[in-house]
Structure 1
């Protein structure tokens, strides 16, 4: 598979993954662009490996971590004042989904990455462990802690 074919087939999935990690579509596009630039230079080596998706997801994840480490990038998006939604309406469901995403974005980085990779990218523990460069047991621990934290916050109605 050529680099262009890979980007055409998997580019949007990488942007979606980055957007779920960061909560910011524009930053996600920048992260994926940076990751693809790095991958292009090593594509011959990457495509010979076991799974190019793991390598690219790791590049995106590491890029996200590096962005937050830079001193100049400490801004946080301001939360808009939530409107009260009427139960049973479509906007009520959207408001509930937005509240859940605020809770997910408040998770520690590793826990958030595990939630996104498991429930949105539909990866198993072994694949997530390869992306995060940790053991499958560590993945399960992060998932358990994340779900416990999300359940508690969601049931209490607490939003960050």
Structure 2
């Protein structure tokens, strides 16, 4: 890779890595996994950087790669066997880091992956439906329906948790 391309990539990674990490956390609900996903995403972007930058803006492509990395991680069988209860994180997730409350994050974890991706990209990353459709490689109608179903599921989970605590 040329020195100019390398410098461009380093600047992109410096500027966008926190936003990618936040999006990854909202998708997976685990800061450590989110950091791993961002690292894998950046490695994949670095490998194809000169070709990617010739096509235009990189942000949508980066989100698409991040989403694909997360979906691939979801398909790994050892993730389903791993027990996650009783493990204390290194540091608690701060609402300031994600901008989303703890109950909403827990409810988001119960939304199916494709719906969660649509909700996170559409409402948390504040992307228009057209850009979300590009990232998810589907039509805008599919984005709208997946987001609507995801929001419906979120409401149901939040209502159920509110009933339990009352």
Offset at residue 100 of structure 1 (A): 1.7
**For 1:98-131, what per-residue CA distance to the aligned partner results, in whole angstroms no more than 9, with x for missing partners?**
1221111100001111111112111010000011
Quick one: which of 103, 123, 128 aligns to 1:99?
A: 103
Give the CA deviation at 1:143: 1.1
Q: CA deviation at 1:51?
A: 2.8
The question of 1:41 aligning with 2:40 is answered no
Unaligned runs of 5+ in 2: 88-99
Matched, 1:143 2:133: no
Of 67-76 and 39-48, the range deviating more from structure 2: 67-76
Q: CA deviation at 1:50?
A: 3.4
Alignment: residue pair count: 144
Give TM-score scaled by structure 1 length.
0.82
After TM superposition, the runs of 4+ consecutive aligned structure 1 residues lying more than 3 A away are none
Alignment match of 1:69 (pick from 50, 75, 80): 75
In the alignment, structure 1 residue 78 sits paired with structure 2 residue 93: no
What is the RMSD of the two structures over their aligned residues, measured on CA atoms?
Answer: 2.0
Note the alpha carbon deviations across 1:53-98, whole angstroms, 9 max, x for none.
Answer: 1111111111111112122222252278xxxxxxxxxxxxxxx921
Counterparts of residues 1-160 of structure 1 (less than 5 Å) = 2-74=8-80, 75-78=82-85, 97-156=101-160, 157=162
In the alignment, what sits opposite 1:87? none
Q: Which runs of 5+ in 1 are unaligned?
A: 81-95
Alpha-carbon distance in structure 2 between the residues aligned to 1:34 and 1:124: 25
- 1:152 and 1:72 mapped to 2: Cα distance? 29
The alpha-carbon deviation at position 158 of structure 1 amounts to 5.9
